[in-house]
């Protein structure tokens, strides 16, 4: 079945490449706009004077006020590790190939009603330990209807990808091969300075096959109220409340029902020429017989320099609580809910729980080339808790009292060939600290990812 899906994707790409090239080389009128977004339902597509077949299918008139648009993307990645578990004596055949193809249709009926549908095929080869985020042969990634009651209120029902705020707790999960979807009902209020979103959602449980994902899986539900307020041109806030229920959740070798409420505040904007983005979250609830009391705080500040070659220097730091002790009937480990898989780069060795990190970076753009260098130092917040992976499963148990986990150095180079085609190379090196070294995992880890993506 994987060979069939791969063949279909290749045929799609062979068909579309000439159309993409034609659309890129064709002289467009100023009124024609193609702006692609991560969430393709947010694309900015304006085709007043189609110049070719590709532009015609981007905006098909079905009446005076009804339009239909088609599009999609194909992403290919090569990912490789050396000493993936900080141990050079393990099997070093750690490289694999990831393919992701998506195709969508967007129907707009005036300014009141829209339907958006998107299919996804995510394949992986040469990888032995395949995770749910690596493979899903064919699935409905998004399928929802939205109705605009008036200038302020709209309602959405169906399946969609989401990203709220900076994606600390709810994200599209763009880094891994399979995106995260929710079956949900959502009501939203917006005006010039305010957006308030409320929803009840059930995360889709990914399977490896064709149209076999579990819909309306009620073992896990998530509801939220998210309020974004633009107070001035330079000062903004997010206030939010998330409530998550999950039956038979596994946490640190214990399985129990988890009822968790997260209260969050995000403050972001500009001050004295600096961009800032600060966030605090507190969690309470019950995990089995244990009382939940966990928190995280994140600070981000950066400065843009308008030089001959513009560049930005920034720094991030955060503290994420871990469990103080295993026998006090209180769980202090923070649950990041549905974060992006590549939380600290695509290397994704450490997840957002029981962690302190300091993360300076510098980035620049030279023509069509984007360059970024960063450094991250990691410590355990609590020495009685272990180090988690991005799925919030303990990868490295608390076998010693050392706090320092390691140093990570990363580099990303991206090249945007045109509106349709982009390339990116990311590399990371992690030097184990005392905690990993004393756990017999003291060898330097190397990680590389090459990505090419076509959007159409």
User: Which contiguous run of DSSP H or E holds residue 60?
Assistant: strand 60-61
Q: What is the model's pTM?
A: 0.88
What does DSSP say about strands 274-287 and 235-251: parallel, antiparallel, or unpaired?
unpaired
Average pLDDT of the segment spanning 132-140: 94
* DSSP-derived secondary structure for 208-259: SSBS-PBTT-TTEEEEEEEEEEE-SSSEEEEEEEEEEEEEEEEETTEEEEEE
Distance CA 261, CA 256 (A): 16
- The secondary structure of the chain in percent helix, strand, coil, rounded to multiples of 5, reads 10, 55, 35
**Cα gap 215→415, rounded to integer Å:** 38
Cα angle: 91, vertex 84, 400; to 5 degrees:
110
| pLDDT at 18 (0 to 100) | 43
The whole-number average pLDDT for the span 30-37 is 75
- Confidence check: pLDDT of 147 > 80: yes
* CA–CA gap between residue 309 and residue 303 (Å, rounded): 14
CATH topology of domain 2-455: Porin (2.40.160)
Strand-strand pairing, 220-230 and 235-251: antiparallel
Beta bridge partners of 415: 369, 423
**% of the chain with per-residue pLDDT over 90:** 72
Return d(Cα 144, Cα 234) in angstroms, integer: 34
d(CA 220, CA 203): 7
Which pLDDT value is given to residue 93? 67
385 in Cβ contact with 399 (< 8 Å)? no
Higher-pLDDT residue of 452 and 90 is 452
What pLDDT sits at residue 3?
A: 46
pLDDT at 31 over 70: no
| DSSP character at residue 30 | T
CA distance 389 to 416: 31
């Amino acid at each position: 079945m994987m060979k069939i899906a791969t063949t279909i994707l290749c045929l799609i790409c062979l068909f579309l490449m000439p159309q993409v090239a034609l659309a890129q080389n064709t002289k467009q009128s100023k009124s024609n706009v193609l702006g692609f977004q991560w969430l393709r339902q947010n694309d900015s597509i304006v085709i007043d004077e189609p110049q070719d077949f590709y532009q015609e299918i981007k905006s098909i008139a079905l009446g005076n006020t009804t339009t239909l648009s088609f599009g999609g993307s194909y992403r290919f990645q090569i990912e490789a590790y050396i000493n993936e578990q900080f141990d050079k004596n393990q099997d070093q055949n750690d490289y694999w190939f990831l393919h992701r193809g998506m195709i969508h249709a967007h129907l707009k009926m005036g300014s009141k009603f829209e339907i958006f549908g998107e299919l996804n095929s995510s394949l992986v080869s040469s990888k032995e330990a395949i995770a749910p985020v690596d493979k899903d042969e064919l699935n409905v990634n998004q399928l929802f209807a939205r109705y605009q009651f008036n200038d302020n209120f709209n309602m959405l029902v169906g399946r969609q990808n989401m990203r709220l705020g900076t994606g600390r707790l709810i994200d599209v999960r763009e880094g891994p091969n399979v995106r995260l979807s929710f079956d949900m009902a959502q009501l939203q209020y917006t005006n010039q300075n305010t957006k308030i979103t409320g929803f009840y959602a059930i995360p889709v449980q990914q399977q490896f096959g064709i149209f076999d994902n579990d819909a309306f899986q009620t073992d896990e539900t998530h509801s939220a109220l998210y309020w974004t307020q633009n107070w001035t041109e330079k000062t903004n806030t997010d206030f939010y409340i998330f409530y998550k229920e999950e039956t038979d959740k596994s946490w640190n070798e214990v399985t129990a029902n988890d009822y968790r409420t997260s209260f969050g505040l995000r403050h972001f904007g500009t001050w004295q020429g600096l961009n800032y983005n600060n966030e605090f979250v507190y969690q309470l609830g019950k995990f089995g017989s244990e009382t939940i009391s966990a928190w995280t705080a994140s600070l981000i500040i950066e400065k843009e320099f308008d030089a001959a070659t513009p560049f930005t220097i920034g720094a991030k730091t955060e503290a994420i609580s871990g469990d103080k002790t295993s026998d006090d009937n209180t769980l202090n480990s923070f649950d990041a809910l549905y974060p992006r898989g590549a939380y600290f780069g695509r290397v994704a060795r450490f997840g957002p729980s029981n962690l302190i990190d300091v993360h300076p970076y510098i980035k620049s753009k030279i023509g069509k080339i984007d360059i970024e260098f960063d450094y991250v130092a990691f410590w355990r917040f609590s020495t009685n808790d272990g180090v988690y992976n991005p799925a919030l499963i303990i990868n490295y148990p608390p076998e010693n009292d050392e706090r320092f986990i390691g140093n990570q150095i990363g580099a990303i180079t991206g090249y945007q060939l045109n509106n349709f085609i982009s390339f990116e190379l990311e590399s990371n090196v992690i030097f184990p600290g005392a905690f990993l070294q004393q756990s017999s995992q003291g060898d330097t880890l190397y990680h590389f990812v090459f990505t090419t993506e076509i959007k159409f």
